[in-house]
Structure formats: structure tokens, C-alpha cells
Amino acid sequence: MEFSRNRRANYLSPLRLYLFTSLAFFFVLSVSIDFPDMASPARDVARTAAGPASITFGETDGTQPWLQIDFDDEAGVEGNAVEGDDAHPAAPASVESGHSPPWRLTDRQREAFDRVAPAIDEERRRKLMEILRSSVTGNAMALAIQGIKAQDVADADTAERYAFGQLIDIMHQPLDAIRAWVENLPVAMFLLLPLFALLLKAFYPSRKWFYSEHLVFAMHNHTVAFLAFTVIALLPEGRTLAGTTAQALVLALPLYYFIAMRRFYGGSRRATAFKFLALLLLYGLLLLTALLGAAAAVLVFF
């Protein structure tokens, strides 16, 4: 309201306030997200290649160390790994348990690999093989490839081949892709601001205000949200008081926005409530678009 009355000298710039709170929130978010200890497909294959094992260290000639790994009978593996260029664990010939080991592909996974291998380069083939071998991503990737027709792979243009190659990179390092998506969110949210201000101007056409005034109102509303969610992200987990505080802040935000709209734009409670709900729905669609846009940016530039 003071901004609209040209009383701005005694106040922080709305843009600076928005940028500071948004960067603070996304910084706190990035350091507070508890990413699971998910190994990459390559490490997952190595880690799950066998069951319990006994490990023995020794020396071959007094200078070169060696490592003896004896796997259990169920896995059916016994091999030696010597440090150096010739270090290759012995591959098993068969597994009596009836389950395909992680280093071997099922028929479905092999068919999926053979279907798309001609359309990707050698590096991506290696990554795809590791994805399919992984106990975490193998079946999901095989099912996804099953929906692609062999003819579609053969007829894929440059853009489609590029997109599929990027998807392989993302599936190969999923946690890095999630981190990149989080890093893209501040830009996506900033691009959302002018669109939200346009909605406000469309919902209040009788107000003879400049577009910049609606934009300032939008920035202040987002600033309050960033402050609230920063506090929520900093609350300790597992505390009853922290959970109650987080719930109170989430419930208080819609009430604050309703009061802010009615105080800034005026109008009756009923009219404000109708516009508030309509704006909430449209903003939700814009927010979803922004999140998908950030994900698309990861797919293109990962």
C-alpha cells in the first residue's frame, strides 16, 4: 500500500526482499533435503553382486598386495581380485538359486537393451547397461523401453535421440538430476512472478493501477511464503512442537493471502473469496508448469 502511495524511501526494495528470501529458502532447502544413500547403478551392481563373503588380504611377492574374496555358496561365486590393471573379479557361470544376478540381464532387460542400443552412442550404451543391471532402476527402465516400438527407435530424429540420451544420463545419476532440478527452481519461481501479476491485473481491471503495483503485491506475497517455508525447513524433525508450528504456518498462509487481497484491493468478503479461490486454482496450474519447466531444463541441460 505504501508503494502505491509513492512512500518508498523508508522501505526495503520489494525486489531485493524477494530475491533475498527466495535465495535463503532454496539454500536452506538444498542443504536440508535428506537425499537417500542411493548408489549409482554401477556401484549398485558391484555392491549387490554377491551375498556375504569372507575377505583375505595378503601379498603375492612381498610388494604387490592382493585381495581374496570368497562368496557364500548361495551366490556360487569365488574369485580373486589383484590390485592393478589386471584386476577383474571372476564372473560366475551360473546361480543355483534361480534368480538372475545383478551382473546378468533378464530376457526383458536384454530385449530392451538390444532395441535401443543402435540409437545411442557407446558411452550411453554402457550407462544403459548399468541402469538395467541395477536392482533399483533395472526393471523400471526395461518397462519404460518396452513401450517404445522398434520402428520408432529406427525412425527417431536427432531431437528424439538427444532426449533419450539425456534420459539415460538422468537415470544413471538420479540424485544429481534431483539436485539440478532444485537448483533450477529459483529461476522458475522468478519467471512465475510476472504471470501471477498479470492474473491479478485481470481479476481487478477496475483498479487504475500500474502493472508494477500488481507485481509488487505478487512479490510481497511470495516473500511471505518463502519466509514461512524457510522456518518450516529449519524446524527440527521429530519434535511435536516443530510439527505443530509447521502446520500452523501452512494453515496461516491462505488466511494471510485472503486478508492481504482484501486490504490491498478492497471489495466484499464474498467477492474476495471468489477471486481468491479462482486465483489459487490458476496459480496452482502455473506452479505446476514452473515445476515441470524446471524438470524439462534438467532433461535438456543435464
Asked if residue 198 and residue 137 are part of one domain, the reply reads no
pLDDT at 96 over 90: no
C-alpha grid cell, residue 92:
560366475
**Would you place residue 297 in the very low, low, confident or very high pLDDT band (cuts 50, 70, 90)?**
confident
The whole-number average pLDDT for the span 51-73 is: 45
Question: For residue 100, what pLDDT is reported?
Answer: 43
Residues in the chain: 302
Q: Which of 119, 149, 172 is the last residue of a domain?
A: 172
Other C-beta atoms lying within 10 Å of the C-beta of residue 11: 10
Asked if residue 128 and residue 109 are part of one domain, the reply reads yes
pLDDT at 82 over 60: no
Asked if residue 243 and residue 153 are part of one domain, the reply reads no
C-alpha grid cell, residue 4:
502505491
Asked if residue 151 and residue 263 are part of one domain, the reply reads no
Residue, of 16 and 48, whose pLDDT is higher: 16
Asked if residue 265 and residue 202 are part of one domain, the reply reads yes
**Would you place residue 65 in the very low, low, confident or very high pLDDT band (cuts 50, 70, 90)?**
very low
Domain assignment present for residue 43? The answer is no
Asked if residue 292 and residue 182 are part of one domain, the reply reads yes
pLDDT at 97 over 80: no
Asked if residue 181 and residue 165 are part of one domain, the reply reads no
**Would you place residue 112 in the very low, low, confident or very high pLDDT band (cuts 50, 70, 90)?**
confident
Amino acid at 267: G
C-alpha grid cell, residue 287:
506452479
Asked if residue 128 and residue 24 are part of one domain, the reply reads no
Asked if residue 135 and residue 91 are part of one domain, the reply reads no
Asked if residue 195 and residue 168 are part of one domain, the reply reads no
How many domains is the chain built from? 3
Asked if residue 210 and residue 142 are part of one domain, the reply reads no
Amino acid at 277: L
Domain assignment present for residue 6? The answer is no
Other C-beta atoms lying within 10 Å of the C-beta of residue 207: 16
Cβ density class 150-181: b for 16+ within 10 Å, e for less: eeebeebeeeebeebbbbbbbbbbbeebbebb
User: What range does the domain containing 122 cover?
Assistant: 105-172
